[in-house]
Chain A
Amino acid sequence: MAVLELNNISKHFGAIHAVNDVSLSLEPGEVVGLMGDNGAGKSTLVKMIAGNYLPTLGSMKLDGKEIVLHRPVEARRHGIEIVHQDLALANNLTAAANVFLGREMKTGIGPFSILDYQGMYKRAGELFKDLKSETRPRDIIKQMSGGQRQAVAIARTMLSNAKVVLMDEPTAAISVRQVAEVLNHIKHLRDQGVAIVLISHRMPDVFSVGDRVIVLRRGRKVADKRIAQSSPEEVTGLITGAIEQV
């Protein structure tokens, strides 16, 4: 059964129809590449799923139940997490501190409780292990590689047993070697049964980890195909408009 379903979703900003009548569904443990040129409506669509925007028209279902998301915190409560393009990490804190940022583990009772350093180091270590990442919980973010930083941002989504993870251009600003590392993280996250939406401009990334590719052009969904049945050439054509629709 689909974990997330979007039915005829539209978002209008005045006369501008940023997203127009888009329907899609996500299965657990599936990686869907969301592609499209700048202004195609990718980020508007993702922002509706993440609770930043309320759709003008259409409905959303999570695990078969209809949901309306007014704020990002509500999306998070439903198990929809987002990995922001800039990762939203505090450079002066440790990897573990960032994984638990805003959701710190505590020990003790009521007003006398203190941070549970050991517990957080241990749990963060387990999450990095699940991601097969050589990230040390005690290291400061400032000293870490781009790939390790991604691991921290992804581990943060695993903390809450997310059902859906939206990843915004995770490979845009890192070195070639680290791209492979991040793609591996995505695979390991998928293996835990999480549905992943991968927003990317990079064709090779989507074709190496994606199960399906969805292409948006000018606010409309013009393709929703299994990766195996598509090709980078076809997707490029769909993005630019050389191919109208499939």
Chain B
Amino acid sequence: MAVTLDDTIAKRQHTWSSALFSSQTFWVLIAILVACVYLSFASKAFLTPQNVFNITRNFTFTAIIALGMTFVIITGGIDLSVGSVLCLCSMVIATTMHAGAPLYVGVIAALACGLAVGLFNGVLIAYLGFPSFVVTLGILRWTKFGRHVFAIGGNEHAANLTGIPVRPIKVAVFMISSLTAAIAGIVETGWLGAVTTNIGAGMELQVIAAAVIGGASLVGGAGTAIGALVGAALIEIIRNSLGLLGINPFWQGTVIGLAIVVAVAFERVRQLRSRD
């Protein structure tokens, strides 16, 4: 049968399975599973309810901000303020509540603070009661805004020429990043029941690492919300298991750094292959 132009145009280059295997998120997920299986044998403490709760709770803080950070990274930018925003917003909620205000007043104050540093979609997310995961997951893939975020990271000049409001969108992605930091600050304050001035210190690098391990490219133009979550999960498992295995915590940075190197190498290999 002759191949018509219609067939060619309608043809999909990637099947579902090839898209899955070339996805960085998928391989990080495999790495997490392998690590979990190995660790459940290597350490008796790993697969206990307490520790699983520990991991999933600690993962939340990084994961929430990594979602916001992914927006910024896709546009080719980077947000080094999230650790400080988390601290600031934690302070806001703690001092407000210490002054006698009820929980919801503290939460609103902290979120407003996040928005003051960074403002967008905040009301939508905060007042709908933290569906931030769902919103962020959807925003990147299904909205015009998400599409434009990717376009700016791919070719800013082209985005400008096609009439995309490049500057407002750049502001908005930093607002989203700060907002997610505010949300994480609220959650973390709720867990700790106290705030110190160094809460969130160094958090930005961990969050960036999570986004990058999850497939966000530091040169812009690539990244997913699910990837950010999966990347955050891998980092927390690395941190947690090093402690359980009795390895000096100084090695944490080394191992997480190694994970980033592998993630970036993975991306390079994929790029080289697609060039052939």
Residues of chain A whose beta carbon lies under 8 Å from any beta carbon of chain B: 73, 76, 84, 86-93, 97-98, 101-104, 106, 114-115, 125, 128-129, 132, 134-140, 142-143, 156
Contacts and interface: CB of A to CB of B under 8 A. Distances in A.
A93 B9 contact: no
B158 A89 contact: yes
B142 interface: yes
A53 B241 CA distance: 63
Given A91-B155, A136-B8, 18 more contacts: A76-B163, A86-B158, A88-B155, A89-B155, A90-B151, A92-B222, A97-B150, A101-B147, A102-B163, A114-B143, A128-B9, A129-B5, A135-B9, A136-B10, A136-B12, A136-B13, A137-B9, A139-B13
Contacts of A138: 12-14
Contacts, number: 88
Given A84-B161, A138-B13, A92 B154 contact: yes
15 contacts: A86-B157, A88-B158, A90-B150, A90-B159, A92-B154, A92-B222, A93-B151, A97-B147, A101-B159, A103-B162, A115-B141, A136-B9, A136-B13, A137-B9, A138-B13
Contacts of B151: 90, 93, 97, 101
Nearest to B156: A90
Contacts of B150: 90, 92-93, 97
A132 B157 contact: no
B142 A90 contact: no
A101 to B, nearest CB: 4
Q: Which of under 10, 10 to 19, 20 to 34, or 35 or more describes the interface residues of B?
A: 20 to 34
Contacts of A140: 274
A101 B158 contact: yes
Contact of A115 (B142, B155, B159, B221): B142
Nearest to A76: B163
| A interface: dominant SS | loop
Contacts of A101: 147, 151, 158-159, 162, 164
Contact of B5 (A84, A103, A134, A139): A134
Contacts of A92: 150, 153-154, 221-222
B155 A136 contact: no
B44 interface: no
B162 A102 contact: yes
A125 B164 contact: no
Given A104-B144, A125-B10, A88 B161 contact: yes
A84 B158 CA distance: 9
A97 B222 CA distance: 14
